[in-house]
């Protein structure tokens, strides 16, 4: 049977990436594909394509010397845009996946930094999600493992697949927004929140928020615990939220009250509110040191790293080697 062409003729992103990935998997050892899927999904032990058994127990008194067996079907759904997955699509795909015969899975691969809501909602053991970053990390891990002999051709093909993922921007899991924060940073320290203009646009999939002030990205990178796009800062809103006895509403009510009493916000106006983990919370990432800005213009004058907002991957910020903003650009 002829193999799929190595260099995909598809032009559409999803088809191109899927075809190229399949072509690489087809040309490398099946056990290596199994290793990559297990590492990318965190499903080590449950991803097994072929079994090799000595002295298997057969029917009745039968005990043959060995058995090699395979009974599996792996289905794939690939998205190259964030938040593109729908529950309806997953529901239709799962109709193809058997529940009792053999080992069948539906693998969903997307660039989302966290598991999409459509996957969370299904709660189906046959449905397994991972992102392209996890796949790339699994490739790095497999090729760095000195206990596993990976042929040069397989190494070349896997590195070419990684290059394709980089080219298509599928490894950029920018899950942190860093905001210009001359006033916002001290406000965060006091109130564990970030307040800005209502309905201000931010990328989807954000998990953390960072603060750029004093020519540096500050050490605290809190987790986003809640977000509301347009909150009226009024006494009526304070009363309404306290009556719900909801913890998030209560937290926002206290925040509104505190900021109005200190004249930090104008009563009657609307604001977007990010509820953040406290600076001392385990959910808040603490960088080893502030990341200093070393950007300069053509005249060698300092240039602000951001005057509004920029996005970066949390894993980049946490790397000990990152000491300056230029280090982020080189990763």
Is 77's pLDDT higher than 90?
yes
Q: In which band, very low, low, confident or very high, does the pLDDT at 204 lie, cut at 50, 70 and 90?
A: confident
Is 100's pLDDT higher than 60?
no
Is 179's pLDDT higher than 50?
yes
Burial pattern 208-245, b for ≥16 Cβ within 10 A else e, equals bbbbbbeebbbbbbbbbbeeeeebebeeebbeebeeee
- Measure the N-to-C terminal CA separation of the chain; round to a whole number of Å: 41
Average pLDDT over residues 261-275: 97
**pLDDT (tens digit, 9 = 90+) per residue, 239-252?**
999 999 899 999 99
* Structural tokens at position 223: 């987790």
Query: Which of residues 238 and 100 earns the better pLDDT score?
Result: 238
Q: In which band, very low, low, confident or very high, does the pLDDT at 14 lie, cut at 50, 70 and 90?
A: confident
Highest-scoring range by mean pLDDT, 2-6, 109-113, 269-273: 269-273
Q: In which band, very low, low, confident or very high, does the pLDDT at 331 lie, cut at 50, 70 and 90?
A: very low
Query: Which of residues 131 and 170 earns the better pLDDT score?
Result: 131
Cα-based distances in Å from 231 to 31, 178, 180, 196, 267? 53, 22, 21, 10, 11
Is 292's pLDDT higher than 60?
yes
Nearest to 167 by CA among 2, 32, 7: 7
Query: Which of residues 122 and 211 earns the better pLDDT score?
Result: 211
Average pLDDT over residues 215-238: 96
Which domains can be identified in the chain, with CATH numbers? Answer: 13-167 (3.40.1350), 176-330 (no CATH)
Pairing of strands 309-312, 176-180: antiparallel
Is 1's pLDDT higher than 60?
no
Is 4's pLDDT higher than 60?
no
Q: Whole-model pTM?
A: 0.58
pLDDT at 236: 97
Rounded to the nearest 10 degrees, the angle between the axes of helix 132-144 and helix 30-41 is 130
Q: In which region does residue 200 sit, left (phi positive, over 0), alpha (psi from -120 to 50) or beta (all else)?
A: beta
- Helix/strand/coil for 96: coil
Secondary structure, 3-state, 149-205: CCCHHHHHHHHHHHHHHHHCCCCCCCCEEEEECCCHHHHHHHHCEEEECCCCCCCCC
Give me the percent of the chain exceeding a pLDDT of 70.
Answer: 93
**pLDDT (tens digit, 9 = 90+) per residue, 47-73?**
777 777 787 787 777 878 887 877 788
Q: Mean pLDDT across the chain, nearest whole number?
A: 88
pLDDT at 73: 87
pLDDT at 232: 98
pLDDT at 71: 73
Q: In which band, very low, low, confident or very high, does the pLDDT at 46 lie, cut at 50, 70 and 90?
A: low
Neighbours of 178 (CB within 10 A): 25
pLDDT at 272: 97
Is 180's pLDDT higher than 70?
yes
């Amino acid at each position: 049977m002829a193999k799929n062409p190595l260099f995909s003729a598809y032009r559409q992103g999803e088809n191109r990436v899927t075809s190229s990935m399949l072509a690489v998997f087809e040309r490398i050892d099946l056990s290596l594909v199994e290793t990559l899927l297990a590492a990318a999904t965190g499903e080590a032990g449950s991803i097994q394509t072929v079994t090799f058994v000595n002295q298997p127990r057969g029917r009745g008194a039968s005990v043959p010397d060995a058995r090699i067996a395979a009974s599996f079907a792996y289905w794939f759904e690939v998205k190259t845009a964030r938040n593109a997955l729908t529950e309806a699509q997953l529901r239709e795909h799962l109709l193809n996946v058997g529940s009792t015969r053999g080992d069948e899975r539906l693998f969903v691969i997307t660039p989302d930094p966290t598991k999409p809501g459509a996957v969370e909602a299904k709660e189906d053991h046959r449905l397994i999600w991972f992102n392209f970053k996890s796949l790339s990390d699994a490739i790095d891990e497999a090729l760095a493992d000195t206990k596993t002999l990976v042929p040069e051709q397989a190494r070349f093909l896997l590195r070419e697949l990684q290059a394709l993922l980089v080219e298509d921007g599928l490894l950029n899991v920018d899950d942190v927004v860093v905001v210009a924060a001359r006033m916002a940073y001290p406000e965060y320290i006091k109130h564990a929140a970030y307040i800005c203009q209502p309905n201000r646009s931010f990328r989807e999939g954000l998990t953390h928020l960072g603060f750029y002030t004093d020519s540096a990205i500050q050490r605290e990178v809190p987790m986003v615990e809640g977000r509301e796009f347009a909150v009226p800062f009024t006494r009526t809103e304070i009363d309404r939220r306290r009556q719900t006895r909801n913890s998030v509403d209560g937290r926002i009510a206290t925040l509104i009250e505190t900021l109005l009493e200190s004249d930090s916000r104008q009563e009657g106006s609307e604001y977007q509110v990010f509820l953040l983990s406290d600076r001392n919370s385990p959910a808040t990432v603490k960088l080893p040191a502030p990341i200093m800005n070393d950007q300069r213009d053509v005249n060698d004058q300092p240039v602000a790293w951001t005057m509004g907002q920029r996005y970066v991957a949390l894993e980049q910020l946490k790397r000990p080697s990152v000491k300056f903003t230029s280090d982020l650009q080189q990763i």
